[in-house]
Amino acid sequence: MELQYFGGNCISISMKQATIVIDDNLEALGLKSVMKPDSIALYTSEVPVLSQARLVISDPGEYEVSGISIFGIAARGHMDETDKQTATIYKIQFDDLRVAVIGHIHPDLTEDHLEEIGTIDILITPVGGNSYTLDAIGALQIIKKIEPKLIIPTHYDDSKIKYPVPQQSLAEALKGLSMEPKETLAKFKPKPADFGEAAQLIILERQ
């Protein structure tokens, strides 16, 4: 498994069987789409009108693709009213690795959410805040509930990205998370030695 970050909330998870691309709305942010015709596309909220992917998943449910298990869990969006659930959390399971992608959700996860998410090795969470998505405080609230082994932050300020709402810098988010990064990498290939008892932060450079 290999993870790469492309800006915004877009991360790719590449395996021998397939590549999953999460939240590729990069063209709307002034960047170039990374979607390929053989990709599996996951969207935690809005779906672009056009997608080159061979499979697009944007709704809650259970999916099995090329030996990869994908669980979509309905959640309250960050800007939703209390009784709405317009966002989708994804749990991706391949071999012995479990990755959770939470997207632009409200930080108040319910016990039902936590039960469905279960044990997680890697948590991917936005941290940019400013009422558009989770800030470091909201992300930390979720981290404490899910208790992942590794955390990868996304959706923070970047001079190359045209966010609809200005986002906090990564440095500001790290102060709020009160965590020092373990590593800063261009690509992350998780291995058993990466998973210790305490949660650790991995920073992925934008490609």
- Average confidence (pLDDT) over 82-110: 94
CATH code at 59-204: 3.60.15.10
- When pLDDT is cut at 50, 70 and 90, the band that residue 49 belongs to is low
Sheet holding 2-7, edge to edge: 2-7, 10-14, 19-22, 40-42, 55-57
- When pLDDT is cut at 50, 70 and 90, the band that residue 82 belongs to is confident
| pLDDT of the residue at 51 | 66
d(CA 89, CA 176): 23
- Average confidence (pLDDT) over 193-205: 92
pLDDT mean across residues, the chain: 94
pLDDT (tens digit per residue) in 12-35: 999 999 999 999 999 999 999 999
pLDDT (tens digit per residue) in 162-185: 999 999 999 999 999 999 999 999
pTM above 0.85, yes or no: yes
Domain boundaries, the chain: 59-204
d(CA 148, CA 81): 27
| pLDDT of the residue at 197 | 83
